Amino acid sequence: MTVPAQTVPPELFGCWQRQWIELADGTRDDTSFVVWLQLPSLMADVRLSAAALALAGQSSFSPDELLVLADSDSSSGATECTPVAQRTATAEWSSAIGFQPVSAFPEPGLLEWNSDGTVMTERAPSGAYVEEWHLLPESRGALSHSVLADGSEWFRAGSFGVLVRDRRGALPSVSRLTDLADRASLESATDCEFSFAALAGGAWTIQHSTLPWRVGATVDL
């Protein structure tokens, strides 16, 4: 991936964890695990439902469990953001690697920070959703992106990182992976890694992943 010049203000740097999302119909989700790691231009996010989190450690899956894994909206790419004015800005995202063929969140984000910059509200211009994000402590240390020997990409923000490995085949021509009907296609399409890792004791340990059997493994840098 070509790394563009800085395209976001420092207020966005670090790793943000979503506390909740509320959709226009009033539906609220505060049980999914969602983190957004933002570098000066590049970004990666990991999005896993509560049902997907419950599969941590498994290496074989029923058809219904494969559909759970197929529902992630994780992605990596680049962010562009307007300058911050009165603690507000507008951000847009372009995906280099997307877990889904079509993004579920195609709109720009209207961002607003609290007074100390550690809580951020994001709204869709259409009113489709509103989200609250909290900055993880110790995530504004080293900010870096690298390509590992196996072609995986490593995004780091302080004591947190996201490991991204694209699927080996092309994305199928469906809107969402959950539209796939046969097991072989689901297995191939979900063989795409977005792993969230934390640094402790000198090792990067995977806490959550789109590949459940990777949870607890260390990242080989």
Residue 148 lies in a domain: yes
Residue 4 lies in a domain: no
Residue 219 lies in a domain: no
DSSP per residue, 54-101: TTTT-----HHHHHHHTT---EEEEEEEPPPBTTEEEEEEEEEEESSS
Residue 145 lies in a domain: yes
Q: How many domains does the chain have?
A: 1
CATH code at position 54: 2.40.128.280
111-127 mean pLDDT = 97
Residue 220 lies in a domain: no
Measured distance CA(91)–CA(109) in Å, rounded: 5
Residue 144 lies in a domain: yes
Range of the domain at 183: 10-214
Q: What would the pLDDT profile of 132-168 be if each residue is shown by its tens digit? A: 999 999 999 999 999 999 999 999 999 999 999 999 8
Q: What would the pLDDT profile of 61-108 be if each residue is shown by its tens digit? A: 999 999 999 999 999 999 999 999 999 999 999 999 999 998 888 899
Q: What is the pTM of this model?
A: 0.96
Residue 5 lies in a domain: no
What is the phi-psi region of residue 201: left when phi exceeds 0, alpha when psi lies from -120 to 50, beta otherwise? left
Residue 2 lies in a domain: no
Measured distance CA(32)–CA(53) in Å, rounded: 8
Phi, psi of 62 (to 5 degrees): -75, 165
